[in-house]
């Protein structure tokens, strides 16, 4: 019996996605909405992504350098390890978990408020496909924005590591840069971008779903928002495991 509720939600989520992916009423309105959402979910997230990437990149470098005190291990290994951590895990996964909190809760509360104030009913009455009108531009905007944010985060994270190594004197800049280039596996980048695209879809679709089916009042909007962040984060972590196993193993 305890499985009934999750199965019910999965079914309802699938139907919601079906409704979302229907042909838009007006393509130019749809296009404008996508651009507005890219601005909201992508451009507005640049600040937080910069800050987190810079500091975490720096911390990864310092911690790696402090733990590799064996004289037989060359210092460029620090740059190498920082690059691997940032490209493989930090930028695609941790940044997406941060975005699940920032963007996911925003999407859910926005759509949830529209639900409880009957704005979604107003769209339905007009004959507008409300799920498509509200959720589809957000999903597409996230699919476009998140990989770009991840590329940006990788660059800033590595730069943060470089600065930390240079100013603490733990890793000489030339060694760090050598480590960054050392044994680079080019397929790690598409793997990272593929993962982040899937995570972007997960964040936008689950958050939209939670908001769209909000029932009640302001309290429930808050609950939907929390649920959206928690479920998105769990699903991201699960998919992270599955994708990593499928692609890298």
Binding site residues, another protein, CB under 8 A: 25-26, 29, 113-114, 117-119, 121-122, 124-129
In the complex, the smallest distance separating the C-beta of residue 100 from another protein, rounded to whole angstroms, is 23
Do 75 and 175 contact (CB within 8 A), yes or no?
yes
In our burial notation (b when 16+ CB lie closer than 10 A, e otherwise), range 201-234 reads bbbbbbbbbbbbebeeeeeebeebbebbbebbbe
- Minimum CB separation of residue 73 from another protein in Å reads 55
* Cβ at position 186, least distance to another protein in Å: 43
* Least distance in angstroms from the C-beta of 29 to another protein: 6
Distances (CA, A) of 126 to 61, 84, 158: 56, 51, 50
Nearer to another protein, 129 or 205 (CB): 129
| Token pair for 98 | 């941060």
Residue whose CB is less far from another protein, 25 or 174? 25
CB of 105 to another protein, least distance (A): 17
Closer CB to another protein, 4 or 246, in the complex: 4
Measure Cα distances from 182 to 64, 71, 241 in Å. 16, 19, 26
Decide whether 60 or 120 has the Cβ nearer to another protein. 120
Decide whether 26 or 185 has the Cβ nearer to another protein.
26
Residue with tokens 């393509």: 27
């Amino acid at each position: 019996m305890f499985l009934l509720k999750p199965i019910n939600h999965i079914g309802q989520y699938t139907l919601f996605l079906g409704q979302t992916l229907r042909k838009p009423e007006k393509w130019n309105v749809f296009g404008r909405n996508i651009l507005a959402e890219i601005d909201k979910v992508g451009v507005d997230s640049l600040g937080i992504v910069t800050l987190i990437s810079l500091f975490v990149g720096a911390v990864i470098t310092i911690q790696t350098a402090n733990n590799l005190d064996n004289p037989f291990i060359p210092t460029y290994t620090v740059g190498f390890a920082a690059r691997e951590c940032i490209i493989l895990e930090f930028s695609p996964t941790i940044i997406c978990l941060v975005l699940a909190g920032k963007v996911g809760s925003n999407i859910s509360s926005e759509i949830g408020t529209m639900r409880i104030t009957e704005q979604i009913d107003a769209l339905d009455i007009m004959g507008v496909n409300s799920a498509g009108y509200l959720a589809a531009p957000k999903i597409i905007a996230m699919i476009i924005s998140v990989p770009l944010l991840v590329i940006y985060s990788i660059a800033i994270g590595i730069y943060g590591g470089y600065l930390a190594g240079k100013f603490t004197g733990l890793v000489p800049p030339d060694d760090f840069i050598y480590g960054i280039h050392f044994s680079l596996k080019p397929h790690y980048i598409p793997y990272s971008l593929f993962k982040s695209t899937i995570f972007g879809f997960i964040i936008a679709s689950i958050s939209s779903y939670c908001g769209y089916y909000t029932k009640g009042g302001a309290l429930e909007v808050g609950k939907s928002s929390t649920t959206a962040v928690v479920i998105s984060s769990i699903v991201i972590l699960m998919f992270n495991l599955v994708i990593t196993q499928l692609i890298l193993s």
